[in-house]
Structure 1
Amino acid sequence: MIENLSPEQCWELLQNNNDAVLVDVRTKMEHTFIGHPPGAVLIPWKEAPDWQLNPNFAAEVEAAVPNKEAPILLLCRSGQRSLDAAKLLEQLGYKRLINILEGFEGPLDQDKHRGNLGGWRFRGLPWEQS
């Protein structure tokens, strides 16, 4: 089963469960230049310029998180790529998959800007840039 938790709930889980792993499924450019939570493991779901599914995604997650009982928190820009990634990992036998609602940047506002209505950064949680 895939859980959907708020950014705040995910941050609390990461603080209280040493087995929990936050996997950032955004692109390398998003992770580096827009920012990411401290300790996030970058494993892109899709990558520019062709935006094809990362053929190594499953193998990279299995290498980073060999324990299929460990909670895996999945983060993308707004919550869609992370949900798609969670569905794949569920098929691979991972037991505790958590989609981070709102993602890192949140939904678009009326001016088509992100970061003003929700998301990890908007919620004031720790983040950094590379």
Structure 2
Amino acid sequence: MNEITVQELKEKIDKGEDFQLIDVREDFEYETSNLGGQLIPLGGVVIESEKISKDKPVVVMCRSGKRSAAAIMQLEQLGFTNLSNLRGGILAWQAEIDPELNVY
């Protein structure tokens, strides 16, 4: 499984690269803090897979990297080959990029 670090994600954002960010956490988690990605909770990721691009890189994130890894495994069964897991999730982002970010 491809992984991307929070530093690599920040570089993509800062450079304005064309990619999709999918957040597989629950609504209440997303409302607490998010990085602006599209919210598709893990339980609905297969059902809503048509919302996920197959034409450009996709970074999948969650709180720590475990649920996003599970989402990627499910999506790869559907033929997705353009997915990267955000290593450490939003907790790593808060620890390494934005210590002011409200996490739980």
- The TM-score range, normalised by the shorter chain, is 0.7 to 0.9
- Identity among equivalent positions (%) equals 30
TM-score w.r.t. length of structure 1: 0.68
Contact 1:70 1:95 in 2 (8 A): no
Alignment deviations for residues 69-127 of structure 1 (CA, whole Å, 9 cap, x no partner): 3211011111100000011111111121100001111xxxxxxxxxxxxx1122225x9
Task: Show the counterpart of 2:3.
Answer: 4
Is residue 70 of structure 1 aligned with residue 53 of structure 2? no
Q: CA deviation at 1:128?
A: 6.9
Task: Show the counterpart of 1:79.
Answer: 65
Contact 1:5 1:99 in 2 (8 A): yes
Task: Show the counterpart of 1:40.
Answer: 37
Unmatched segments (≥5 aa) in structure 1: 46-53, 106-118
Q: Cα RMSD between the aligned structures?
A: 2.2
- Aligned equivalents of 1:7, 1:36: Cα separation in 2: 13
Deviation beyond 6 Å, 4+ runs, structure 1: none
TM-score w.r.t. length of structure 2: 0.83
The alignment covers a number of residue pairs equal to 101
**Larger Rg belongs to:** 1
Q: Secondary structure at the match of 1:95?
A: coil
1:11-50 equivalences under 5 Å are: 11-16=10-15, 17-18=17-18, 20-33=19-32, 35-37=33-35, 39-45=36-42
Unmatched segments (≥5 aa) in structure 2: none
Higher helix share: 2
